[in-house]
Chain A
Amino acid sequence: MLAVLAFGAVRASGALPPTGAPEARTTPLIRKIPSTGEQLPVIGLGSWITFNVGDDVAARNQCTEVVRAFVSAGGRVIDSSPMYGSSQETIGYALGKLAHPNVFSADKVWTSSQGAGQIEESRRHWGVPRFDLLQVHNLLGWDDHLPLLFSMKKAGHLRYVGVTTSHGRRLEELEQIMRKEPLDFIQLTYNPIEREPEQRILPLAMQRRIAVIINRPFNQGELLDDLASHPLPNWARDVDARSWAQLILKFIITHPAVTCVIPATSVPSHARENVDAARGRMPDAAMRKRIADTIASLV
């Protein structure tokens, strides 16, 4: 019921196009962070695996080109974690090379008992004065870390606080935290074949005015690997999707609760293609169902 109410409310507000009449967007779709009204482009950039390249300068330069392509296409949100190996340092390297473009820095605090020390080390890797968003990674030690993050926010050392999970794990605990804590963001996995969050988490996020970041949109690339042998349906053109990746991203970003999705890539042209998924016509409710049904039948 929560899900039905959520979709109905958003359709009435005009966030989704009316069924059967998608309108083309020339500028990338943006969403507001519910707690402040700040606007964010809906396509972000993840860094799990792809940016963990160590101190390999050639690979770091390649990642810099990914960030350059992402930012120049209109992207802003970049997400990382101290658990992602050298990804934070790679992001810092790229931002330095690109003269610190205006990105929305989203990072995490992990299992360390020294949360503040870990956050400071992460900040130094990024080379930013402060993080826009810090999230408790996979809910690990959330009851210890959240008071620290809220105190940092109160002191002006941080703008937003969130928690993360992935692949449908610990959703019940996530729901409890969402009901109890004044979160700005949650992050979780949602895509055409992982739709459990539609039942409770996404509607609750709208009800509680919590922004939602979607990770693993392609199930760590497996979804695209499985779809690679299938031609893109002709009807994908009706929503201006030129690839399976764009079709999946359009499915995700048109859920009204979703604020941002963070696909990871090591290919600059893919970063541009991902951001472009937020342009053109968007799927309506019927088309979203068609996308999900089609992909579920193929993988």
Chain B
Amino acid sequence: MSEWWTYRLSDFLMFSQRTYNRLFERYNHDVWPLHLVAIAIGVLILWLARSGQRVAGRVTSILLAISWLWIAYAFFWQRFASIHTYAKWFAIAFALEAILLLALPSAIRHPPSIVIALILLYALIPPRHETFGLAPDPTALATIVLTRWPLRIIPIAWCAFSAATLLAMATR
């Protein structure tokens, strides 16, 4: 890309805030009541983090991997791809993270419960009501606090992209 210094964040924004919000509105409508399952998974991870049981790391990695796979398919592949040219690459990255989670259960850590609880409350933020386990942002945030390197690379990359998208929409 020549003259790259002349580009701004908004030059890479492909859709309006209204369209982005509608995408989540329709997604939340379509997948309801999976939110209850996702929140239950979040609460289970929270309990596992407090329990200190030997299997906690393995179970947490499996639950997180299921969440990442679901988002790769149901959110990126099926829905986000309709408004973003590179969404299928995001789907592949999320599927890769799921594989890494399954391959590296020892990279799971147990952060303070309050951090996980706050991420579960992310779903209450309007207008998109992004729910852990179903939406990429809270799931990536949870994975950052629940894992060690190298499992944090893809979640941090996604959060950086998402933050740039939200900033571009807010400043448009």
Chain A residues packing against B (C-beta within 8 Å): 49-50, 52-56, 58-59, 83-86, 167-170, 220-222, 266
Q: Total interface residues on B, using CB and 8 Å?
A: 20
User: Which of B8-16, B69-77, B97-105, B134-142 contacts the other chain?
Assistant: B8-16
Which one, A54, A85, A221, contacts B79 given CB within 8 A? A54
Interface of A is mostly: loop
Q: Bound state CA distance, A266 and B19, in angstroms?
A: 11
Question: Nearest chain-A residue to B2 (Cβ)?
Answer: A170
List residues of chain A with CB within 8 A of the CB of B23.
54, 56
A49 close to B85 (CB less than 8 A): no
Question: Nearest chain-A residue to B19 (Cβ)?
Answer: A53
**Top 3 A-B pairs, shortest CB-CB distance:** A54-B82, A54-B83, A169-B3
Contact A85-B172, Cβ < 8 Å, known A54-B83, A169-B6, A170-B2: no
List residues of chain B with CB within 8 A of the CB of A53.
15, 19, 22, 83
Contact A56-B26, Cβ < 8 Å, known A168-B6, A170-B3, A220-B172: yes
Q: Bound state CA distance, A299 and B147, in angstroms?
A: 47
Question: Nearest chain-A residue to B84 (Cβ)?
Answer: A85
Minimal beta-carbon separation of B19 from chain A (angstroms): 5
Minimal beta-carbon separation of A173 from chain B (angstroms): 8
Minimal beta-carbon separation of B10 from chain A (angstroms): 6
List residues of chain B with CB within 8 A of the CB of A266.
16, 18
Known: A53-B15, A54-B23, A85-B84. 14 other contacts (CB 8 A): A49-B15, A52-B83, A53-B19, A53-B22, A53-B83, A54-B79, A54-B83, A56-B26, A83-B85, A85-B14, A85-B83, A86-B82, A167-B6, A266-B18
B14 close to A52 (CB less than 8 A): yes
Minimal beta-carbon separation of B40 from chain A (angstroms): 30
Q: Bound state CA distance, A167 and B15, in angstroms?
A: 19
Question: Nearest chain-B residue to A167 (Cβ)?
Answer: B6
Contact A50-B16, Cβ < 8 Å, known A59-B22, A85-B85: yes
Which one, B2, B3, B11, B15, contacts A52 given CB within 8 A? B15
Q: Bound state CA distance, A52 and B18, in angstroms?
A: 11
Instruction: List 20 A-B pairs, Cβ < 8 Å.
Output: A49-B13, A49-B15, A52-B14, A52-B15, A52-B16, A53-B15, A54-B82, A54-B83, A55-B82, A56-B19, A56-B23, A56-B26, A59-B19, A59-B22, A83-B85, A85-B84, A168-B6, A169-B6, A220-B172, A221-B172
List residues of chain A with CB within 8 A of the CB of B14.
49, 52, 84-85
List residues of chain B with CB within 8 A of the CB of A56.
19, 22-23, 26
Within 8 A of A (CB), among B76-132: 79, 82-85
Q: Bound state CA distance, A58 and B3, in angstroms?
A: 38
B83 close to A86 (CB less than 8 A): yes
Q: Bound state CA distance, A266 and B172, in angstroms?
A: 15
Minimal beta-carbon separation of A102 from chain B (angstroms): 29
Within 8 A of A (CB), among B1-54: 2-3, 6, 10-11, 13-16, 18-19, 22-23, 26
Minimal beta-carbon separation of A224 from chain B (angstroms): 12
Question: Nearest chain-A residue to B81 (Cβ)?
Answer: A54
Among B11, B14, B22, chain A packs the most CB atoms within 10 A around the CB of B14
Minimal beta-carbon separation of B6 from chain A (angstroms): 6
Q: Bound state CA distance, A83 and B22, in angstroms?
A: 21
Question: Nearest chain-B residue to A220 (Cβ)?
Answer: B10
List residues of chain B with CB within 8 A of the CB of A222.
172
Q: Bound state CA distance, A171 and B171, in angstroms?
A: 27
Minimal beta-carbon separation of A147 from chain B (angstroms): 22
A52 close to B172 (CB less than 8 A): no
Which one, A85, A169, A170, contacts B15 given CB within 8 A? A85
Q: Bound state CA distance, A204 and B24, in angstroms?
A: 47
List residues of chain A with CB within 8 A of the CB of B2.
169-170
List residues of chain B with CB within 8 A of the CB of A220.
10, 172
List residues of chain B with CB within 8 A of the CB of A85.
14-15, 82-85
List residues of chain A with CB within 8 A of the CB of B82.
54-55, 85-86
Minimal beta-carbon separation of B113 from chain A (angstroms): 38
Minimal beta-carbon separation of B76 from chain A (angstroms): 13
A54 close to B6 (CB less than 8 A): no
List residues of chain B with CB within 8 A of the CB of A221.
172
